[in-house]
Amino acid sequence: METSPRQEEPARRETARPGKLSRRGILKGAAVAVGAAPLSVLGMGEAHAADSAMTATSPDGSNKITVSLVGGALSWSVRRAGTTVVHTSALGLAMSDGTTLGTADTVLTTYQHWTKDSTWTPVYGRNATIRDHYQEMRWKLQDSASGVFFGIQIRAYDTGVALRYTLLDTGKATISDELTGFVFPDGTLVHSARDENVYSVVAPDAIPSTGTSGTDVGSLTDMPLLVTLDSGLRACICESSRVNYPRGMLTSVSGQSNTLKTYLMKKTARGSGPVQTTSTVTTPFATPWRVLVLGSSDTDLVDNAELVLNLAPANALTDTTWIRPGKVFRCNLTTAAGIAGVDFAVARDVDYIEYDAGWYGPEFTTTDATAAIPDIDLPMVIDHATTNGIGVFLYVNRLALTNPDTLFALYRSWGVAGIKLGFINDGTQTMTNQIITWAKRAAEHNLLIDMHDNVRPFGYERTYPNWISLEGVRGNEQFPTATHNVTLPFARNVGGPMDYTICYGQSRNQTTNNHQMAMAAVYYQPLNFLYWYSTPTSYATTANWPGLAWFDAVPTTWDESTTLTGSIGEYIAVARRSGTTWFLGAMTNETARTLSVPLDFLDSGVSYTATIYADGTAGTAPRATPTVVSTRTVTSSTTLSMAMTSAGGQAVILRPS
């Protein structure tokens, strides 16, 4: 259960525009909840069209987000440390009746601002506690042409900024487009990727056109979107608190250099399901947060990722004691493989086994996931697993989810611990709500849930922490390059957990085994599938696989995390602490390099035994490079020299002596 050990009541101020009736206390005592939180509404009255601006400033003074009202039109801009991140850019919502809110005839009625400082304890995460410290500004606005009341909210954190819209009248509204733009300085580049494709580094106005007849077509890229600026500043565009709203993408804007615009998906990501060109919502309503995770360096982005969680609703579950992050081993589709998988999990300190696609029949033609194929005695495997303290995950294709309540109740009665949902068609308003409903229903049956394929994060692992992982990444099922792997921590992983599927000793890897091992510390994966494509017999001669001891020891949830060094697409080193033990992972791209990594994050005055898993002499291919294990004593004043071969890595366990 999420707790808040430190809480300060936000100090709030509200100012009515001259000539307007003040409604002191509007929204007092609560922030706008996502979806359909009730908001007090000012009555109609005299409106004054005047140019105005409001700026939210982060507590440390570094980040500033400004919304301006000039000539009846809204715009926004962002600066970090006095340097522009986003130039003056468009804001607005287009409604299906032809009304466009925020582009003309907008008048300001009420202004609010406050600062909040609190901490909360996640069920699992990168850190044991998270600080939620920001300044927020709100405008209540009126479209004088239609009489519609709406609002804009902005927040500034030390880790980034965010904005969203609110529709304040009571009733129904139908949204057809969101006009939020991002005009970047000259020289800006973005790491564009769609679905699970590789990244293309292009100017914002040069995103390649993609899509099929069944999907949205255009110069579209998924979020999280990594942005690098000539100034050296870094940003990652994410979304948070998406409810009853389509998934956002970003698109180049024809004829406008350095410019992106928010695009609301009308079709599902993989082209299955009805087209939705508009979204009807019950008002009052809040759109998702458009989030800019900011950094003055590449490593800042990795450490500032919890901003997405801070903008999401708090944990909705009253009991989370059953939620257990951990490591997972996928079994072949037989009873014997399941039994062997359980025994391997026990021996290797793995928490779960999983039966993947095919355990109940061909996944795209079988719509009944209530009985296993004859080759699997599922009760026997589940009984063997639970007897040995191992949980069981079952894969289910979306075609078999016609009655999730019944199916989830059945699985829970079997003793299943979690479900992995396959080929989830994220994208439309309907699918957003379906995804959240699946997470909620799974929680009601004490089931963990891992959503696969092109699902994108929006912070809801905080709200429903049983939604423990999701894919939405080009992972090891594709055997990507080392360059791709050392881009992910600064891009996709900033938005939330990702199910990458680590492969150890796999002949199709384009990396060394140590590179794969380091992922367990570098990537944030609270549900971590290990040994993908392998079987227990692959590691029968354990002496041939020195990395097994690393995977035995490494956890998936952390008390403290820090990014030690990194450069996008080149290299990264991350240290994470569980209890008194630190786990350090370092990875490089196809360039062999040696990193000098100070260990000043260790407790002063304490000696640690470092067990180091390093690349040996480079093999004929990266995957043929051996692992060399050594130990040494280190302290907080030690600087490790971490040598890595091409596509290599290092993994280090640091235990107090």
Has residue 74 got a pLDDT over 50?
yes
pLDDT of residue 13: 52
Count of other CB atoms within 10 angstroms of residue 501: 21
Residue 382, both tokens: 């589940």
Spell out the domain ranges in the chain.
Answer: 52-311
Paired sense of beta strands 527-530 and 326-331, if any: parallel
Count of other CB atoms within 10 angstroms of residue 324: 19
Has residue 78 got a pLDDT over 50?
yes
Q: Which of 7-16, 81-90, 489-498 has the lowest mean pLDDT?
A: 7-16
Has residue 276 got a pLDDT over 70?
yes
pLDDT of residue 23: 30
Q: Which of 28-42, 331-345, 390-404 has the lowest mean pLDDT?
A: 28-42
Q: What DSSP string runs through 454-507?
A: S----SHHHHSTTEEEE--S--TTS---HHHHTTGGGTHHHHS-------SS-T
> Percentage of the chain with pLDDT > 70?
93
Residue pLDDT, tens place only, 177-215: 999 999 999 999 999 999 999 999 999 999 999 999 999
Question: Residue 558's pLDDT band (boundaries 50, 70, 90)?
Answer: very high
Residue pLDDT, tens place only, 644-654: 999 999 999 99
Residue type for position 426: D
Rounded mean pLDDT, 22-35 = 31
Mean pLDDT, the chain, as a whole number?
Answer: 93
> How far apart, in whole angstroms, are the C-alpha atoms of residue 548 and residue 200?
35
Has residue 280 got a pLDDT over 70?
yes
Nearest 5°: the CA angle 481, 486, 487 is 95
Rounded mean pLDDT, 274-285 = 97
pLDDT of residue 3: 67
pLDDT of residue 8: 42
Question: Residue 330's pLDDT band (boundaries 50, 70, 90)?
Answer: very high
> How far apart, in whole angstroms, are the C-alpha atoms of residue 155 and residue 162?
5
> How far apart, in whole angstroms, are the C-alpha atoms of residue 511 and residue 488?
15
pLDDT of residue 40: 28
pLDDT of residue 260: 98
> How far apart, in whole angstroms, are the C-alpha atoms of residue 370 and residue 361?
10
Residue pLDDT, tens place only, 481-490: 999 999 999 9
Question: Residue 311's pLDDT band (boundaries 50, 70, 90)?
Answer: very high
Residue pLDDT, tens place only, 120-173: 999 999 999 999 999 999 999 999 999 999 999 999 999 999 999 999 999 999
> How far apart, in whole angstroms, are the C-alpha atoms of residue 174 and residue 465?
31
Q: Is the peptide bond prior to 284 cis by the omega test (within 30 degrees of 0)?
A: yes
Those residues whose C-beta lies under 8 Å from the C-beta of residue 40, and which sit 6 or more positions away, are 23, 25, 26, 27
- For 105-130, b where at least 16 C-beta lie within 10 A, e where not — what string? bbbbbbbbbbbbbbebbbbbbbbeeb
Rounded mean pLDDT, 416-441 = 97
pLDDT of residue 203: 98
Rounded mean pLDDT, 320-333 = 98
Write down the pTM of the prediction: 0.94
Residue pLDDT, tens place only, 112-123: 999 999 999 999
Paired sense of beta strands 391-397 and 418-422, if any: parallel
Has residue 387 got a pLDDT over 70?
yes
Q: Which top CATH class is 52-311?
A: mainly beta
Rounded mean pLDDT, 508-526 = 98
Has residue 225 got a pLDDT over 80?
yes
Residue pLDDT, tens place only, 35-67: 333 222 222 334 446 899 999 999 999 999 999
- Report which of 352, 328, 366 is spatially closest to residue 529, judged by C-alpha positions: 328
pLDDT of residue 382: 98
Question: Residue 453's pLDDT band (boundaries 50, 70, 90)?
Answer: very high
Q: Which of 268-277, 444-453, 579-588 has the lowest mean pLDDT?
A: 268-277
pLDDT of residue 4: 59
> How far apart, in whole angstroms, are the C-alpha atoms of residue 435 and residue 59?
35
Paired sense of beta strands 649-656 and 608-615, if any: antiparallel
Question: Residue 273's pLDDT band (boundaries 50, 70, 90)?
Answer: confident
pLDDT of residue 49: 60
Residue 309, both tokens: 């969680």
